[in-house]
Structure 1
Amino acid sequence: MDEKNLENLKFQLQQLHNEAHEFVQSIPPMQLYGAIGVVIFTISFFLIIRLFKRRASNTIVLTGLSGSGKRVLFYQLRDGSSHLGTVTSMEPNEETFVLHSETTKKGKVKPVHIVDVPGHSRLRPKLDEFLPHAAGIVFVVDAVEFLPNVRAASEYLYDILTKASVVKRKIPLLLLCNKVDKVTAHTKDFIRKQLEKEID
């Protein structure tokens, strides 16, 4: 841009500034103050609404000890299959889908964001990434292999229940006893009582 164009632009901006100043001077002060007040009130109102309005979360976090059956549950929720032969995951498995049980229903069915967080102790910090957005937590317990893992399960459950994001948002937690159809499985009442005893 050469110097002549720059001077021309500067002159136009100065002229625009002068016209705006004259326009503001021609408005009675009470109207001007009223207009400014309305603008400030409107902006403040929308900012306050935006701050306090929470979007309803649709994220459900599946967690529990490694090998408890979270991955199988994930696949059953997604497509009704058990995907036998799944292995322990090292990364969270997440997907948004309409629950398999809801696919036959008519009308508007909302998809759910399901996150399967690995249960290995070294990978548990990944849970913290998803809890602030969670609408609910499903803690999966293996009902067959429960007694050897009762202490580890109760410690992990306690850690989840005392996390600041869970306490602050009062995120509901469902204790899901997996493999209860097996002959050697413990009952849900026994599992609940044992976990309560360990946590106390």
Structure 2
Amino acid sequence: MEHDTASKAEPQTGPSLVKVKDSQLIGIVIAVLVIFITLVLFAIWRRQRSARRGILLVGLSDSGKTLIFSRLLHSKFVLTHTSIKENIEDLVLNNNSLRIVDIPGHERLRAKFFEQYKPIARGIVFVIDSVTFQKDIRDVAEYLYTLLSEPSIKSNVTPFLVLCNKQDQTMAKGSKVIQALLEKEMNLLRQTKSSQLESINSAETTTHFLGKKGKDFEFAHLYPQRVEFAESSACDKDTSKPAELNELKTWLHKIA
């Protein structure tokens, strides 16, 4: 009887079997490495997030930052004056401790203190005086533009809350009106700054450009960085009224 070589498969031996086993081993090693690297990156992210537990209260002088700080941390009214140094205290939310830092709003001091505390920033609350906003709109836009252009803030995608304060007062503008006016002012400011940078270095223009080129400025165009608007009242006129900080507290719970 002839031996039917076609009907019987020879078992794999020699170099071909070694190649299969080597390929399987390499696949397992790669999978283990991917899992290990993922765990390491996650641990680094967690550590960095824990290190960045600061909520920075920023804004022009007399916007109400220090009173908000006092109302938020101690639920009490205090007479305030222009700060010359920072106020710092911890606030526990969602079993996490946030370090609230009230940064002086004076033009000569705020850059120094912001530089000191920006490495710990998990979120930034930009406080606006809703009563004097129209008068101060240029200064407000300049300061906000500077913060949003800060490289470390952009790279960390630090969330912003623009808090339209003093809503208890008759002449206060609402957050939607302030947002619309601020976007127009930021658009004009962006054009001015882009022209200045182009005259110096075209590469810097791309780095510092905020929003989408060819479109009028909108805060939504800064995505993935989130810039939200809210309203508040720390009641610096009528001390008998309770502070209205619910929108701020809701935002802080999300950040925590």
SS in 2 for 1:68: coil
Aligned to 1:69: 64
Letter of the 1:97 counterpart: L
How many residues of Structure 1 are paired with residues of Structure 2 in the alignment? 147
**Shift of residue 92 of structure 1?**
1.1
1:132 aligns with 2:119: yes
**Superposed, which structure 2 residues align to 1:94-133 within 5 Å?**
94-98=88-92, 109-125=95-111, 126-133=113-120
Letter of the 2:124 counterpart: I
**Shift of residue 58 of structure 1?**
2.1
Higher relative contact order (CA 8 A, sep 6+): 1
Letter of the 1:192 counterpart: Q
**Shift of residue 51 of structure 1?**
5.4
Aligned to 1:150: 137
SS in 2 for 1:174: strand
Aligned to 1:36: none
Aligned to 1:172: 159
Normalising by structure 2, what TM-score? 0.53
SS in 2 for 1:113: strand
Unaligned runs of 5+ in 2: 1-36, 188-256
Letter of the 1:155 counterpart: E
1:89 aligns with 2:122: no
Between the aligned partners of 2:155 and 2:96, the Cα distance in structure 1 is: 26
1:199 aligns with 2:192: no
SS in 1 for 2:161: strand
| Structure showing greater Rg | 1
Query: What percentage of aligned pairs have identical amino acids?
Result: 39
Is the CA contact 2:57–2:127 (under 8 Å) kept in the aligned structure 1? yes
Between the aligned partners of 2:44 and 2:163, the Cα distance in structure 1 is: 35
**Shift of residue 109 of structure 1?**
3.4
Between the aligned partners of 1:51 and 1:185, the Cα distance in structure 2 is: 44
Is the CA contact 2:49–2:122 (under 8 Å) kept in the aligned structure 1? no
Normalising by structure 1, what TM-score? 0.68
Is the CA contact 2:70–2:76 (under 8 Å) kept in the aligned structure 1? yes
SS in 2 for 1:122: coil
Letter of the 1:114 counterpart: I
Between the aligned partners of 2:182 and 2:118, the Cα distance in structure 1 is: 22
Between the aligned partners of 1:90 and 1:169, the Cα distance in structure 2 is: 28
**Shift of residue 190 of structure 1?**
1.1
SS in 2 for 1:74: helix
Between the aligned partners of 2:172 and 2:44, the Cα distance in structure 1 is: 47
User: In proportion to residue count, which structure has more helix?
Assistant: 1
